[in-house]
């Protein structure tokens, strides 16, 4: 049964409350706690238990969560601070002898928030109140940026992943020490408490590593055969799917493919010389058994404990295992209008549309312009956000080939030739000859081709042919003419590049993007001061909850600061929150 804060006896004014600085977050939270969080917003959490022992008021639990994320402390530390920290007692309105509540209350409350979909209730409430009092406008310019969040689990190697996935599958099937006779000796080692966590082999020997890999792959298949039952539980099916993905991502069998080479293929050699070195693939040259996959799978699992954690790359040398957080901010009030955790291996441009669409659906905000960096400035992101009426203001990434004519040095007319389009090269030659091709996402695009005879006799041949995208002269057949592939959203791409062509346009764009420093400062505050740099929980859903609650606390801190500086705003904000 839900208990409201109004059901509790009023807290007496404590003499030690004067020791708390008036301009601190704790003092301001104590002043605004009665209207900042409402118990009525969390009634669905208790609809399954209308009777029974009265609960702790949900508003008090939410306030404790705000303090927990503000101080970047654990649930156990939050329990201790409610007992001994005068600042927390003052903010929560509890007496000196009141011990607060147990750390498990915070854990169960977070689980209920996710089950009922109420983890964004406070965030949406604060953003809505800021819009009602005029701090945010619906068509205002917004800033968008992202940063990395380190996962709470550790990234593991292939051997550890397979062993952990087999152990997880066996436990989901209900195998325990009491059912020892039902398992083979090999599989029993995975759940035997006395068995060593790491096999005792010579890890510096490639042959021993290859033999161990073959053994655990065989064990994985045996464990999967035990899970092939029509009445298997959802947990068993999930564990089996995880094991299958790990094996398919990290292990390959059969004859290994030859190494990739650029240019003309080498002469045919004996079979032994075409194999990779045994030290690189954990398999001997004459063995066609399981071996580590060459390269990295696109969506590789990094942890059995947190299967949703992925590997993200800031650059070729900088990478992290975890997630990515995206934050949208209104530059005038410096309030966070949207926040969300996304997979670490997802491009920023792919996350822009879901972030803005959720903002429109949850709080009803749709920016007129979105200032962001070049990672969000792809043609696909501009086209999708344009459907929402949002204009992306971001730098276009430069084309990489500097030795030959780039695509932007060709004149592309999409409306010529009756809508079929035409392409004119720097030499002034125009072609309307094209064929339909597929881009990296298997979407139909136009591939314009210049005649081989025309390009072969052109004086600019050396500056045009031989660049990227397959224009290297083939030693077997005659060299093709220059080819220019259009983008799926070529019109959007051309429009964006036309706005950033001259030096004056680039300078104006830099001035337009200058307010982006505000969202970078806000991200630094959220990540460094309040602990969002490292994830607290396993899974994307719980990491998103951490990001949302941290953003709610930062917004509350900003709103209370502005209210203390403006009495008129404080009155309007209090009336709106109390309504």
DSSP secondary structure letters along 41-83: GGGGGGTT--SSSPPPPHHHHHHHHHHHHHHT--HHHHHHHHH
Mean pLDDT, all residues of the chain: 88
Residue 535 lies in a domain: yes
* Per-residue confidence (pLDDT) for residue 471, from 0 to 100: 47
The answer to whether residues 510 and 373 belong to one domain is: yes
**Distance in angstroms (rounded) separating the CA atoms of residues 85 and 105:** 19
Q: What is the DSSP string of 326-350?
A: EEEEETTTTEEEEEEEEETTS-HHH
Three-state secondary structure call for residue 205: coil
Question: C-alpha angle with apex 31: 26 to 34, nearest 5 degrees?
Answer: 110
Give φ, ψ of 266 to 5 degrees.
Answer: -70, 165
Return d(Cα 342, Cα 358) in angstroms, integer.
Answer: 13
Domain residue limits at 477: 407-499
Looking at the chain, how many residues does it have? 579
Is 4 inside any structural domain?
A: yes
Residues 21 and 110 in one domain: yes
Residue 266 inside a domain? The answer is no
Lookup: tokens for 167? 């152990």
pLDDT tens sequence across 501-535:
899 999 999 999 999 999 999 999 999 999 999 99
Same domain, 35 and 62: yes
- 84-100 as b/e, with b when 16 or more CB fall inside 10 Å? ebebbbbbbbbeeeeeb
Residue 437 lies in a domain: yes
Query: Tokens 């397959």 identify what position?
Result: 470
Closest C-alpha to 550, from 66, 122, 103: 66
End residue of a domain, out of 95, 118, 141: 118
Who's near 247: CB < 8 A, 6+ residues apart? 162, 217, 220
Supply the pLDDT for residue 231. 82
Helix, coil or strand: residue 458 = coil
**CA-based angle 39:43:49, to the nearest 5?**
125
Total of domains in the chain: 4
pLDDT range class, residue 274, cuts 50, 70, 90: very low
Q: Are residues 165 and 280 in the same domain?
A: yes
The CATH code of the domain that includes 350 is 3.30.420.10
pLDDT of residue 403: 78
Q: Helix, strand or coil for residue 309?
A: coil
Lowest mean pLDDT among 26-30, 166-170, 315-319: 315-319
Domain termination residue (choose one: 118, 143, 170): 118
| Dmax (CA) of the chain | 93
Same domain, 207 and 278: yes
- Do 382 and 507 lie in one domain? The reply is yes
Query: Model confidence at 276, in pLDDT bands (50, 70, 90)?
Result: very low
Q: How many whole angstroms separate alpha carbon 435 and alpha carbon 226? A: 51
Pairing of strands 391-393, 411-413: unpaired
What is the average pLDDT across 478-493? Answer: 88
> Residue 286's CB: how many other CB atoms inside 10 A?
9
Q: What are phi and psi of 3, to 5 degrees?
A: -105, 135
CB 148 within 8 A of CB 315: no
**Residue 100 lies inside a defined structural domain of this protein:** yes
Please give the average per-residue pLDDT across 335-342, as a whole number. Answer: 96
Residue 235 C-beta-side C-alpha neighbours within 13 Å: 7
Q: Strand 369-371 vs strand 483-485: parallel, antiparallel, or unpaired?
A: unpaired
In the block, tokens 């969040």 appear at 149
Which residue in 350, 353, 351, 328 sits closest to 339, CA to CA? 328
Phi/psi for 312 (5° steps) reads: -110, 155
Most confident of 264-273, 427-436, 478-487: 427-436
Least confident of 4-13, 419-428, 500-509: 4-13
| CB-CB neighbours of 230 under 10 Å | 4
298 within a domain of the structure (yes/no)? no
CA distance 151 to 110: 18
Residues 112 and 13 in one domain: yes
CA atoms lying within 13 Å on the CB side of residue 106 = 25
Residues 198-244 have pLDDT tens digits of 888 999 999 999 999 999 999 999 999 998 888 889 999 999 999 99
Same structural domain for residues 349 and 433? no
Verify that 81 and 150 share a domain, yes or no: no
Q: Which two tokens stand for residue 349?
A: 């441009």
Distance CA 362, CA 328 (A): 14
In a domain, 146, yes or no: yes
User: In terms of C-beta distances under 8 Å and separation of at least 24 residues, what long-range contacts does 203-211 make, across chains too?
Assistant: 206/278, 206/279, 206/282, 206/283, 206/284, 207/278, 207/284, 209/159, 209/282, 210/278, 210/282, 210/283, 210/284, 210/287, 210/289, 210/291
Residues sharing a CB contact under 8 Å with residue 430, sequence separation 6 or more, in sequence order: 422, 423, 424
Pair (425, 472) in one structural domain: yes
Q: Confidence band (pLDDT; 50, 70, 90) for 81?
A: very high
Band (95; pLDDT cuts 50, 70, 90): confident
Residues 369 and 385 in one domain: yes
Flag whether 537 is in a domain: yes
181 plus 246 within the same structural domain: yes
Q: Is the distance from CB of 556 to CB of 29 less than 8 angstroms?
A: yes
Higher confidence at residue 268 or residue 58? 58
- Give the tokens for residue 78: 């939050």
């Amino acid at each position: 049964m839900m208990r409201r804060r109004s059901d509790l006896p009023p807290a007496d004014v404590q003499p030690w409350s004067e020791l708390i600085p008036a301009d601190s977050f704790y003092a301001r939270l104590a002043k605004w706690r009665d209207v900042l969080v409402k118990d009525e917003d969390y009634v669905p959490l208790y609809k399954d238990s209308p009777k029974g022992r009265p609960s702790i008021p949900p508003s008090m639990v939410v306030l404790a969560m705000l303090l927990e994320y503000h101080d970047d402390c654990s649930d156990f530390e939050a329990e201790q601070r409610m007992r001994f920290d005068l600042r927390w007692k003052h903010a929560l309105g509890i007496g000196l002898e009141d011990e607060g509540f147990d750390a498990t209350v915070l854990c169960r409350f977070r689980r209920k928030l996710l089950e009922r979909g109420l983890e964004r209730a406070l965030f949406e409430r604060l953003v809505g109140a800021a819009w009602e009092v005029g701090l945010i406008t619906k068509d205002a310019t917004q800033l968008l940026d992202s940063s990395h969040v380190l996962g709470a689990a550790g990234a593991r190697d292939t051997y550890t992943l397979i062993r952990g996935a087999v152990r997880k599958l066996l436990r989901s099937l209900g195998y325990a020490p009491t059912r020892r006779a039902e398992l083979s000796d090999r599989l029993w080692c995975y759940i035997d408490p006395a068995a060593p966590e790491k096999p005792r082999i010579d890890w510096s020997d490639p042959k021993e590593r290859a033999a161990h890999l073959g053994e655990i792959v065989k064990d994985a298949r045996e464990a999967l055969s035990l899970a092939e039952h029509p009445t298997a539980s959802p947990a068993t099916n999930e564990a089996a799917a995880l094991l299958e993905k790990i094996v398919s991502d990290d292990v390959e069998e059969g004859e290994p493919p030859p190494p990739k080479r650029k240019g003309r293929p080498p002469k045919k050699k004996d079979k032994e010389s075409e194999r990779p070195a045994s030290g690189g693939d954990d398999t001997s040259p004459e063995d066609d058994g399981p071996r580590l996959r060459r390269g990295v799978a696109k969506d590789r699992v990094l942890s059995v404990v947190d299967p949703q954690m992925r590997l993200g790359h800031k650059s070729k040398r900088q990478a992290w295992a975890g997630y990515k957080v995206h934050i949208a901010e209104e530059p005038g009030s410096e309030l966070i209008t949207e926040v969300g955790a996304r997979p670490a291996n997802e491009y920023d441009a792919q996350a822009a549309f879901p972030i803005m669409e959720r903002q429109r659906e949850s709080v009803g905000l749709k920016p007129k312009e979105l200032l962001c960096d070049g990672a969000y400035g792809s043609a696909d992101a501009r086209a999708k956000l344009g459907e929402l009426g949002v204009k992306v203001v971001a730098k276009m990434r430069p084309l990489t080939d500097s030795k030959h004519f780039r695509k932007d040095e060709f004149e592309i007319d999409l409306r010529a030739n009756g809508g079929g389009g035409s392409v004119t090269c720097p030499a002034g030659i125009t072609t309307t000859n094209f064929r339909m091709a597929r881009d990296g996402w298997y979407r139909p695009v136009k591939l314009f081709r210049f005649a081989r005879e025309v390009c072969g006799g052109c004086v600019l041949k050396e500056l045009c042919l031989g660049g990227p995208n397959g224009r290297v002269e083939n030693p077997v057949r005659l060299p093709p003419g220059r080819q220019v592939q259009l983008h799926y959203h070529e019109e959007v791409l051309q429009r964006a590049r036309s706005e950033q062509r001259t030096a004056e346009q680039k300078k104006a764009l830099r001035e337009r993007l200058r307010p982006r420093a505000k969202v970078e400062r806000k991200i630094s505050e959220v990540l460094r001061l309040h602990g969002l740099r490292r994830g607290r929980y396993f899974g994307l859903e719980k990491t998103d909850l951490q990001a949302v609650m941290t953003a709610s606390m930062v917004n509350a801190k900003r709103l209370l600061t502005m209210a203390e500086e403006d009495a008129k705003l404080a009155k309007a904000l209090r009336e709106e929150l109390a309504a």
